[in-house]
Amino acid sequence: MPSKRDGLLIPARSHSRLAERVSQRILSTVRPIESLRFRVHIEVDGLGQPFKKHLDVGPRACSLPLGNLDLPSSQFIKDCKKNPNRVLIAHPYNPPHIMPLVEVVPNSTTSKESIDTAMAFFTALGKAPILLRQEVRGSVANRLQAAISHEAFSLVKRGIVTAKEIDNLGPSWSFTGPFMKDVLGGGANAGGFRHLMEHVGVTMQDWLKDVVAHSYEYTDENLNVLDSSVKEMLAGVDIERLEEERNNLMIEVFKAKASAKALV
């Protein structure tokens, strides 16, 4: 398992520097380096080959975790002839210095060694990486968030609730995920999930039909409705202080959850 020192993330500021970093057996991540991230897009769009060329440089033991949700690694390794098995996507979540989640997304050619190296690396950093077994647009957490946001947008647009009221709902997912929430809601035992779904599953299906019937459309007019509600919510709010308090509370929540013995 790599140590934090061994796994130091050193910015890769150019194609030549990236090759140099790889040759030094350093795990390099593209995500924080926006300039290089955009250059990767340019190369993939067919305007050049330098980045792809450098994927073939360096020792086989070095993995290349790249951070981009809209560009699966399988799309830009086609011209990587020697070591495509070193490439995978590693996507953290904001604020990345606090959130433990990192989604590790290999492509069909990524080797088990590279996957294990990436998982061990992020674990050594104190993160909680999860392995996605297939490439999927947007990754898992963002897709779940998109579904929730999509319905929230619809409810605000229809005038059922305001943005502030949505944000005050206080979901319990900070402590348990959606499946464990249903286990507890269904009786807090091994059969709890099935019991709850047998009783509310059909009803939930009716809710989803209504959700689809009132699906939010991304138009300027609808955005104006949402933006108006958000601005109303922000009236008198010190956003900088809010962010600081949010970050501090997140740290305390994660510390408290880490001290729990059975909570997953």
* Residues annotated as catalytic (active site), given as ranges: 103
| CA–CA separation, 203 and 245 (whole Å) | 38
Alpha helices for 85-191 (secondary structure H): 112-124, 140-157, 163-167, 178-185
* The residue to which tokens 């409810």 are assigned: 155
Torsions phi, psi for 214 (to 5 deg): -115, 35
| CA–CA separation, 176 and 263 (whole Å) | 7
Q: Is the N-terminal amide bond of 95 cis, ω within 30° of 0?
A: yes
| CA–CA separation, 133 and 112 (whole Å) | 12
Torsion of CA 236, 217, 205, 184, to 10 degrees: -30
| CA–CA separation, 4 and 74 (whole Å) | 28
| CA–CA separation, 87 and 65 (whole Å) | 6
| CA–CA separation, 176 and 127 (whole Å) | 18
